[in-house]
Structure 1
């Protein structure tokens, strides 16, 4: 009977704390508080307690197994965590703000917990407990990035769409961090060469001030921030977190506000100017940040409406790949609208090259059905992402790997090696189980907007020699441009030439090469054997413009 009473109560109310369940059982069944508490502690078949998350007074979160992972489960859990002011509430809200999926290293910034601090749970420990409690799980994406995902039933079934949305958001956030960094440096708010972001290449650790990680951080020597300690100048700091995923409410900001308030209590850390960047805020969220002395910035208030709309559109079109691949003007407009942000072009070039390839492939593989960013698994569960897939039924399937890089640079050999040794084997393993493709021609191509080294070519030749049946092709910038030109799509040709071919250093490089060829020809004429006395004029020294070009090219 007692078993039925507990089950019936959980069916009526949904998941709830054991302390609340005891009170309900006491009221409904006329039991004493002690008897009700003991019945809840004993539990019953079908009732489960959440492990590794302990509430005040040793209360536990109780639920029916059928409710696990449901919207009701998480709604009631969040309410219980909020009521007890749990650090897990802030962490899960930060995850919710970002679509319930985010890179692991970003979670360690956004969760609101410190790297390490006495009497505080660390970010790593917090994540570990959430994983053990099966509230979140870590998922390794095909690119190798480890992501934190909330264990919702429906979301775990929609990982492909979640990954596409996250990918678009992360690109927009990367561009935004570049803009905030540029803005802060140009205003003199931070030491110009000392500001760091979570996206900086070669950065071993995340930006850190005090005991917390931040999306962006740097020392500030502005008068209100700096101070003298024993005649030594001590800087303050400028710190920033961001999330570009629509409206932000007050609960979403719990972790960020906790970081800011705790940071101010650290005696050894200088004064800090704190800012959060979002697309927009609900009224209570905006008021909360203002009340706490934090700047509630939006992309529009920082960079103007045009850039804000461009960043919003960037997220949208990257999620809707079909819309972007069928509209070359959309690609061109994104580049142009964000061109004022220093460093945005190189970021967008790498991120959007696959969309340009997908547009070009429509004419290169005329009539072939096309798909982008498909994630596949082999028989042992290893995953790989296919950037662009084109398929002619009963004839052939082509898997294209895209590498958008600086127009005059050479693709890193490590990228080619990873493609050969990791991605291709996984895709081939997947094809073996795909009856439609297993019996037709398969081709693997790597397209890049830059150059390919001799070593890369040698690696591919070695792979072909090892398996003569394996069709592998390298496609450099000249090939990709030729394919774009042969499409006769003027919008595509213009966008591709402008954003993936033309570059300020390209002109210097071409001029340098012309001067080098002239010098080599002149030297060859001087050294050429002749039966008659040479009448060649002495070679004049390089011109000032040539020297300038050579100097710039070698910087």
Structure 2
């Protein structure tokens, strides 16, 4: 006789209502009997609390390994729990990780109490409780059984810095042409109980309602393809706030770097202004940002295929926005060290490799597999000296975690490993003393460290003019 397990193996994860109907059809039992069997079954896993009619998504434990569970969950939420789907989609679009402040914008959950609506924090607690998401106090990410994270903290955080720079430029643009009143623009601000990437007071004629001002509200989507469903969160937020009694008049903006035609038409149908980055701030600047984001999202492949491309983009970015170039200097320094190793070895280089070991997340800034060894490099592009506490955490917390992780990797465990620490500044006295002592007495690790002076000498010996110039002109302090 066909069992619940047989149906799930054949069809994949199913909502409980559909699973019960399939079971009734296969066994000849009544719908009620089949529904009770599904409810009482101990051989299946269930995700509850997100679907109409108190349904649950039913699946088998073995279905968490092939991506089928996320696909089924996303499809079920889109059709039977749309308000929850916005959250899944936002995290998926950002590579499996997103900060809370942006997720608050990209969903249509209120951030303040609103009648007949569950607030953002309550809904997110449901996602975490059902082990769909993990929350570390600042970021939400998919649980590994649902979806593998396909971006790194490095690339995500750098793209966030780019977004925030665009929002700052947009604030200046709106203020300078009189769309918003002086000094009223705010990023990540609440309006109408919902969160927005930008909010500004507008006293433009036609936006004023008698003596009450209107508002300019904006969100930003860049760095990934944008389709019709991806912009609906913004439309839904606008519908909510415009349904309020005595609602303020608004000017809605969605800032994008690219957009599918159907998404563009949908936004225009709802009277939303689409702010293309190239039209607001210039074609060349927009292209530079877009290429930079592409490199960030494909760091290892970019270093292998076009190793100097990031240096060209750095030069372009400095022309248009030196402030942003300096803000993302840390990420670019990791590319620089990865580039150096790619020149030396022609080996596999990974930027921002993350591991979970000893109960915590740890990031390998640069991870290089040479034919005869492994290099793991720590990279700090800072103006201030590196202090003892920072170095002590690297030697006593991160290195043991890295070594433990390597010992679990069958193809890596027998290779010698070297750890490097690169800084564009210098180590303070205590930090340098600790590093020197640690290197001399350690029989487990091969340790190297490079301060600004060593990096400058290193650059002189290299036969790559563009790389040497970038090291001297952008990453290192001028000589005293």
TM-score w.r.t. length of structure 1: 0.71
Match of 1:117 among 113, 117, 122: 113
Match of 1:293 among 271, 277, 302: 271
RMSD of aligned Cα (Å):
3.9
> What is the Cα deviation at residue 334 of structure 1?
0.9
Q: Relative to 1, partners in 2 of residues 1:322 and 1:495: Cα closer, same or farther, differing over 3 Å?
A: farther
Match of 1:487 among 443, 450, 462: 462
Q: What's 2:133 paired with?
A: 136
Residues 107-128 of structure 1: CA distance to partner in whole angstroms, max 9, x if unpaired?
A: 3332321212222122222122
Residues 387-438 of structure 1: CA distance to partner in whole angstroms, max 9, x if unpaired?
A: 23568887x8764322224xxx43474xx62342256532134336756789
Q: What's 2:89 paired with?
A: 93
SS in 1 for 2:358: coil
Aligned length: 467
Q: In structure 2, how many angstroms separate the alpha carbons of the residues matched to 1:328 and 1:314?
A: 13
SS in 2 for 1:19: helix
Residues 287-339 of structure 1: CA distance to partner in whole angstroms, max 9, x if unpaired?
A: 22222222234333433443333223212323233533785641232123333
Q: What's 2:161 paired with?
A: 174
Structure 2 counterparts to residues 401-480 of structure 1, below 5 A: 401-405=378-382, 409-411=383-385, 413=387, 417-422=389-394, 424-431=396-403, 434=406, 442=418, 444-448=420-424, 451-452=425-426, 456-462=428-434, 464=436, 468-469=440-441, 475-480=450-455
SS in 1 for 2:151: helix
Q: Is the 8 A contact 1:168 1:316 kept in 2?
A: no
Q: Relative to 1, partners in 2 of residues 1:256 and 1:441: Cα closer, same or farther, differing over 3 Å?
A: closer
State the structure with more CA Rg.
1
Residues 438-486 of structure 1: CA distance to partner in whole angstroms, max 9, x if unpaired?
A: 99685542312xx447xx2233325655885258776443432332233
Q: Relative to 1, partners in 2 of residues 1:224 and 1:172: Cα closer, same or farther, differing over 3 Å?
A: farther
Q: In structure 1, how many angstroms separate the alpha carbons of the residues matched to 2:339 and 2:39?
A: 61
Q: Relative to 1, partners in 2 of residues 1:290 and 1:47: Cα closer, same or farther, differing over 3 Å?
A: same
Q: What's 1:215 paired with?
A: 197
Q: What's 2:13 paired with?
A: 15
Unaligned runs of 5+ in 2: none
Q: In structure 2, how many angstroms separate the alpha carbons of the residues matched to 1:379 and 1:176?
A: 31
Tell me, yes or no, if structure 1 residue 350 matches structure 2 residue 330: yes
Q: What's 1:529 paired with?
A: none
Q: Is the 8 A contact 2:133 2:142 kept in 1?
A: yes
Q: Relative to 1, partners in 2 of residues 1:87 and 1:150: Cα closer, same or farther, differing over 3 Å?
A: farther
Moved more, 69-78 or 104-113: 69-78
Q: Which structure would you say has the larger RCO, counting Cα contacts within 8 Å and 6 or more residues apart?
A: 1
> What is the Cα deviation at residue 258 of structure 1?
2.1
SS in 1 for 2:223: strand
Q: Relative to 1, partners in 2 of residues 1:442 and 1:289: Cα closer, same or farther, differing over 3 Å?
A: same
Match of 1:316 among 287, 294, 313: 294
Q: What's 1:497 paired with?
A: 472
Q: What's 1:334 paired with?
A: 313
Q: What's 1:47 paired with?
A: 44
> What is the Cα deviation at residue 88 of structure 1?
1.0
Tell me, yes or no, if structure 1 residue 241 matches structure 2 residue 220: yes
Q: In structure 1, how many angstroms separate the alpha carbons of the residues matched to 2:417 and 2:6?
A: 59
Q: Relative to 1, partners in 2 of residues 1:297 and 1:368: Cα closer, same or farther, differing over 3 Å?
A: closer
Moved more, 465-474 or 206-215: 465-474
Q: Relative to 1, partners in 2 of residues 1:57 and 1:329: Cα closer, same or farther, differing over 3 Å?
A: closer
Q: Relative to 1, partners in 2 of residues 1:240 and 1:428: Cα closer, same or farther, differing over 3 Å?
A: same
